[in-house]
Structure 1
Amino acid sequence: MPVTHRHSGYVFTDHTLTVPLDHAAPGGRTIELFAREVIAADREPAHLPWLLYLEGGPGNRAPRELPAWLERASRDFRVLLLDQRGTGRSTPVTRQTLTDLAVSADDLRHFRADAIVRDAELFRAHLAGDRPWSVLGQSFGGFCALTYLSSAPEGLREVMITGGLPSLTASPYDVYRAAYPRVLAHNDRFFARYPGDQEIAAKVVDHLRDDEVSLPGGDVLTPRRFQTLGITFGQERRFDLLHHLLEEAFIGSGRLSDAFLRRVDSVVSFAERPLYALLHEMIYCQGEASAWAAHRASAAFPEFDLERGGPVRFTGEMIFPWHFDEDPALAPLRSCAERLAAYSAWPHLYDPDRLARNTVPVAAAIYHDDMYVDREHSLRTAGAVGGLVHWITNEYAHDGLSRGPAVLDRLIHMVRR
């Protein structure tokens, strides 16, 4: 029986659905999916169309707080916030639930966009019958929306994508080879805004080299873990986070402060989203192994090498093999990660021919300076999808959707034009 509660002018209804772990084996093992329906309280009696929201990631649950775009969405839609398989309340995947690592690596092959789309179709049938619904995809959620258009367009009324148009054909290595220069550009932007932070960052690295520093959970903060704090550069709401950390880094006679270490831990730990680390490269795999693509591509960018003696440069959305040695939330999953990185028989996620013939209305926001998704890849994909209209802007970073109603409002007008 669905559970319903009310607050802040909305009515929330929780839904669960049992689905196959492997959609190709519907009689086999099952997992639970969770999704939360949200409707404006003053619109509850109305028969509003459904809008499925697909969060970025992979491995991120749907928002629990009220997202900034919800007020605009609730004027037109009954919104469904889906916890994608393995996240939130949808049979979560963590070091605590992955016990047989050899088996789990095989299981996790079924946690990419193709399976998420099949899950969505079962949820659509459960809630809306044979009526198509609208989809809003943020970042990786946009990747999923393209897979949806490739495999089940009959379920779609319209699609809106924000910061989530990937290349249809690029290999994982191609993706990361293109990503490193964008991350360097965001480093340049950061240190131009806060030039004094360059010296502090170097001082932190030197301190971590000379002394073993433990985070609140007891694990060690190494220089290269500290370097991963650049993952926040791509979001306007968190671009300044690193500065706020560095300005309170040291206390007393050159010690790193407890406040600094606790805040750093909240960024560098994957305890809340291990699937992100396990599957981040696999979301790009089509017929080939990732083979630790970000690590391989890094060889062409010595600017990130802390041993060369240059200024500290922070990495971005990259997962390296050593993550599974140094992060306690990932260490038990090392063999699982190795098996996934070596696997090469990944099915294709996109159907270029079907996308070229697409008749579902699609509108996409492409962020000109997006650190996470390559602009040129996005523009090529925009030109390859029939009926897709796009808006390219430097007014927003990758998290433009979360800045308020403006991005969604524009996409709604675009897709209906």
Structure 2
Amino acid sequence: MAATYRQPGVVLTDRLFTVPLDHDRPEGEQIEVYGREVVATDPGAGDRPWLVYLEGGPGFGARRFVGREAWLGRALRDYRVLLLDQRGTGRSTPADRQTLPLRGGPREQADYLAHFRSDAIVRDCELIRETLTGGAPWAVLGQSFGGFCVTRYLSSAPEGLSAALLTGGLPSLDAHADDVYRAAYPRIERKVSAHYARYPQDVDRVRRIAEHLADYRPVLNGGYRLTVEAFQSLGIMLGGGEGSHRLHYLLENAFVRTATGPRLSDAFQEAAQGALSYAAHPLYALLHEAIYAQDHRPTGWAAERVRAEFPQFDAEKALASGTPVLFTGESVHPWAFHCDPSLAPLRETAELLAQRTDWAPLYDPARLERNEVPVAAAVYHDDMYVDTAHSLRTARTVRGLRTWVTDEFEHDGLRAGGERVLDRLLGLVRGEA
């Protein structure tokens, strides 16, 4: 029996659904997908239509709200909300270094994880929708990778949708992972330049930390091997509205004076490992490039290969020449599976996924051109995580899609903007804005 409990202004119900691992083999192995139903305490709220929320990622469970935080309060005025932990995340059947060995060796693990992309997530949603709505269509809200899932939904099962809302998540319909990162590195460089313009003192701080890492190659207190390349990847923080400020605060207390000279402070080590570790979301590292794979070409560690085309990100050269050391951004590299103790046991599995070629197409441009579902998308100007040009090209393909292009927010606008972002998107799909 589903557990029901209360928080301020809401009633929550835990829901667990059984779905096939492989939807093409519905009688085969089954896994569980968890969803948290959220209903306002207002009279009649339990009769409102459904809105399902798909979190960004891949690899993140739905956000854990308290009460009516962020956009949730606006959603609950019109909907009952299902916060879905996509397969492999949150309280759904887990997929990580502790559970994947149950599948067998690296080959079996990679074959298992090939069923954890947006196509399978949408088919999960369709089974869940039949259970919750009795077959009636529902609205869907997708943040970042959740928007990729929504685009797949519009391509494969639009009959299940009454409305589609996307924030920072309109993918290219045909770009290979190489194209994604070739577009990403110039955006990342702009974000780093903006950070150094805001906090010029960080140029020297970053150089000192990089030099220290090159000399000492430390293993952090929690077991993470902090290489220069791993340190550079803290630039992922620059994609959020407060990220530049948070990165600055992380850097300012990097060193402490010890009997053997300056060393990385415990506080810095704790913060850095917390920001870099994939222990809580390993699917992000394992499947990050696979979410773009659909043309029978291997992704082949695209971010690592393409980075070589941008020598300004080479920290060794920057240290030798006296130029600023640049951070990188939202990308996964093979060295992560050597640095991060939560990923190290999955190194061979990750390599097999990187070389895999039997990826099915994710999107149907012809069907999107015939779309009849009301769709609205927030596209963040110069989004560090999702290329704006790619998003707008896709927007032109989806019939009837209305875009809101804004530089008021970064990639995390749905969270940071409170009710405003969702309110604007609802106005767009309803023809009120």
Query: Given the two structures, how large is their TM-score scaled by the length of structure 1?
Result: 0.98
In structure 2, the partner of 1:84 is: 86
1:298 corresponds to which residue?
A: 307
Aligned 1:355-394 pairs, distance under 5 A: 355-394=368-407
- Residue 77 of structure 2 corresponds to 75
Instruction: Write the distance in 1 (CA, Å) between the matches of 2:414 and 2:65.
Output: 14
CA 1:264–1:361 in 2, change beyond 3 Å: closer, same or farther?
same
Q: Name the CA distance, whole Å, in 2 between partners of 1:239 and 1:38.
A: 33
CA distance in 1, matches of 2:402, 2:342: 41
Paired residue for 1:265? 273
CA shift, 1:102, in A, is 1.8
| Change in 2 beyond 3 A, CA 1:45/1:376 | closer
Q: Which amino acid aligns with 1:151?
A: S
What SS class does the counterpart of residue 42 from structure 1 fall into?
coil
The C-alpha deviation readout for 1:301-358, integer Å capped at 9, x for no partner, is 0111111133210110111111111111111101111111111110000000000000
Residues 276-313 of structure 1, C-alpha deviations (whole Å, 9 max, x = no match) = 00000000011221011111111110111111133210
Q: Contact (CA 8 Å) 1:11, 1:38: kept in 2 or not?
A: yes
In structure 1, distance between residues paired with 2:7 and 2:348: 44
Give the partner amino acid of 1:198: V
For residues 161 and 189 of structure 1, the distance between their equivalents in structure 2, rounded to whole angstroms, comes to 27
Q: What is the SS of the residue equivalent to 1:401? A: helix
Call closer, same or farther: CA 1:345–1:43 in 2, change over 3 Å: farther
Contact 1:136–1:142 (CA under 8 A) maintained in structure 2 = yes
The letter of the residue matching 1:122 is: L
Partners of 1:174 and 1:127 in 2: CA distance: 39
Equivalent residue in structure 2 for 1:275, among 280, 283, 299 = 283
1:112 to 94, 113, 117: 117
* In structure 2, C-alpha distance between the alignment counterparts of 1:278 and 1:391, rounded to whole Å: 32
Q: 1:216 aligns with which of 194, 215, 221?
A: 221
Question: Which structure 2 residue ranges, 5 or more long, are not aligned?
Answer: none
| 8 A Cα contact 2:289 2:301, kept in partner | yes
Confirm whether residue 412 of structure 1 aligns to residue 426 of structure 2.
yes
Q: How far 1:44 sits from its partner (Å)?
A: 5.1
Q: Which runs of 5 or more structure 1 residues have no equivalent in the other structure?
A: none
Whether contact under 8 Å (1:11, 1:44) holds in the other structure is no
SS of residue matched to 2:77: helix
1:321 alignment counterpart: 334
Amino acid corresponding to residue 344 of structure 1 in structure 2: T
Secondary structure at the counterpart of residue 94 of structure 1 = coil
Count of residues paired in the alignment: 417
Distance change (3 Å), C-alpha of 1:45 and 1:379: closer
Partner of 1:33: 33
Amino acid at match of 2:172: S
SS in 1 for 2:308: helix
Give the conservation status (yes or no) of the 8 Å contact 2:39–2:46. Answer: no
Structure 1 counterpart of 2:155: 150
Q: 2:7 aligns to what?
A: 7
Report percent identity of matched pairs: 57
- Shift of residue 185, structure 1, vs aligned partner: 0.4
User: Aligned-pair distance for 1:43?
Assistant: 4.0
Q: 1:45 to 1:372 in 2, by over 3 A?
A: closer
Cα distance in 2, alignment partners of residues 325 and 43 from structure 1: 54
Partner of 2:237: 232
Matches of 1:246 and 1:381, distance apart in 2: 38
Q: Secondary structure at the match of 1:6?
A: strand
Is residue 126 from structure 1 mapped to residue 128 from structure 2 by the alignment?
A: no
- 8 Å CA contact 1:237, 1:399 repeated in 2: no
Q: 1:43 to 1:84 in 2, by over 3 A?
A: farther
Preserved contact between residue 13 and residue 37 of structure 1 (Cα < 8 Å): yes
Q: Which moved more, 1:58-67 or 1:4-13?
A: 58-67
- 1:376, distance to aligned residue in structure 2 (A): 0.5
Deviation digits for residues 190-241 of structure 1 (CA, Å, limit 9, x no counterpart): 0000000010110011111222422121232111111110011001133311
Question: Normalising by the residue count of structure 2, what TM-score does the alignment of the two structures yield?
Answer: 0.95
**1:296 and 1:61 mapped to 2: Cα distance?**
29
